[in-house]
Amino acid sequence: MSNDAQLLLLDKNAVEALLLPDQVLLAVREAFTLHSRREGRIFPVVREALSTGGTFGIKSGDVPSQALLGFKAAGFWPANRAVGAEPHQATILLFDPASGRPLCVVDGNAITTARTGAAGGIGLQLLARPDSRQACVFGTGVQARVQLEFALKLLPALQEVKYVSSSGKVNAAFEAYFSGRCKIALATDANAAVAASDIVITATPGAGPLFDLQAVRPGTHLNCVGTDTRGKRELPAGLLKQVRLVVDDVEQARRIGETQWLPETPCTEIGDLLTGKSVLQRHADDITVFDMTGLALQDLTVARLIQQQAMEQGMGSRIAWPW
């Protein structure tokens, strides 16, 4: 037992200062690889609706060989928007697996955003056609922004973007953010925008299908981000029957992802593509889908990266935590 033990606290400002896209990409690739090799474990997800109108969840896991153990408590509170606050809220806690002592509390919002964006980027690298030039993005929030950021970073041929906003109106801030990096404009017809695109990114609250089945043309790749709870969906009925499906975790995707709507769909885990356990030969006319439900291992590998950097640079707050 120790009376001089400390708990490291890393707030939003510290996390955002330490998050670098290239490092996040490496950490997320590591998470997928650990999962494929079953060197990292993910525990059953908690995802429940609250009487307040919010949704609360816990994702947890460990990597025994790395002494990495922790969880992320997170959820979605749409009413936060009315008071100018972020509806997504997340906090990550890392533990010493030998003693159970908490080591580090990390603001999880920026980590969730960055690791999900990086996961989408990896999906595009592995599944989208390299010559993809046009994308359609559903959503204009934080996640839509980071997904498009990684898409533009990793797909040099991508030049034109149409976006669909929840209001159906131009989002000037969203357009300004990507000004000079691509040709970006509001899509006035969602189906037409999907039909004209090589890549479709869905990053919405998952309230229902966003476009018609007939809009999806051969050769399209879809990154599906918003469906992470029972009952949510973004894709039209019937689409999964026509696609080559990739997921981050099979069981999790069947419970809370787009795959819940047709759980018998054959699928491949993205980590298995990275490790070579599975091979996906993409034909030009294939429609591919990456069903992204988010792995606890992504949160843990990125949080550990931030923790290590903070300790090296003397960042964060330390409070006494005797045990």
Distance CA 238, CA 71 (A): 35
pLDDT score of 319: 96
6-111+297-320 against 119-294: fold identical: no
Per-residue confidence (pLDDT) for residue 310, from 0 to 100: 97
Q: Please give the span between the terminal C-alpha atoms of the chain, in angstroms, as a whole number.
A: 6
The predicted structure's pLDDT at residue 54: 94
**Can you give the pLDDT at residue 189?**
98
Reported as a single tens digit per residue, the pLDDT across 34-65 is: 999 999 999 999 999 999 999 999 999 999 99
- pLDDT value of residue 190: 98
Please check whether the domain covering 6-111+297-320 is classified as CATH 3.30.1780.10: yes
The pair of structure tokens assigned to 260 is 């819940």
Residue 230 has pLDDT above 90, yes or no: yes
Report the pLDDT value the prediction gives residue 7, as an integer from 0 to 100.
97
Residue keyed to tokens 């000037």: 172
Give 231-277 pLDDT, tens digit per residue. Answer: 999 999 999 999 999 999 999 999 999 999 999 999 999 999 999 99
> Residue 29 pLDDT more than 90?
yes
Instruction: Provide the whole-model pTM.
Output: 0.94
d(CA 242, CA 296): 29
Rounded (5°) CA angle 140-138-86? 35
**Band (12; pLDDT cuts 50, 70, 90):** very high
Domain boundaries, the chain: 6-111+297-320, 119-294
Contacts of 126 (CB under 8 A, 6+ apart): 246, 270, 273, 274, 280
User: What is the C-alpha separation between 199 and 141, in angstroms, rounded?
Assistant: 18
Q: What is the largest CA-CA distance in the chain?
A: 65
User: Average pLDDT for residues 100-113, to the nearest whole number?
Assistant: 97
pLDDT at 226: 96
119-294: CATH number: 3.40.50.720
Q: Name the amino acid, one letter, at 42.
A: I
Render pLDDT for 169-214 as a digit per residue (tens, 0 to 9): 999 999 999 999 999 999 999 999 999 999 999 999 999 999 999 9
pLDDT at 3 over 70: yes
* Cα gap 45→58, rounded to integer Å: 6
Q: What is the mean pLDDT of the chain?
A: 96
SS3 assignment for the chain:
CCCCCEEEEECHHHHHHHCCHHHHHHHHHHHHHHHHCCCCEECCCEEEECCCCCEEEEEEEEEHHHCEEEEEEEEECHHHHHHCCCCEEEEEEEECCCCCCEEEEEECHHHHHHHHHHHHHHHHHHHCCCCCCEEEEECCCHHHHHHHHHHHHHCCCCCEEEEECCCCCCCHHHHHHCCCCCEEEECCCHHHHHHCCCEEEECCCCECCCCCHHHCCCCCEEEECCCCCCCCECCCCCHHHHCEEEECCHHHHHHHCHHHHCCCCCEEEHHHHHHCCCCCCCCCCCCEEEECCCCHHHHHHHHHHHHHHHHHHCCCEEEECCC
Please name which of 245, 142, 256, 269 lies closest in space to residue 203, comparing C-alpha atoms.
142
117 pLDDT more than 80: yes
What confidence score (pLDDT) does residue 1 get? Answer: 60
Q: What is the pLDDT of residue 228?
A: 93
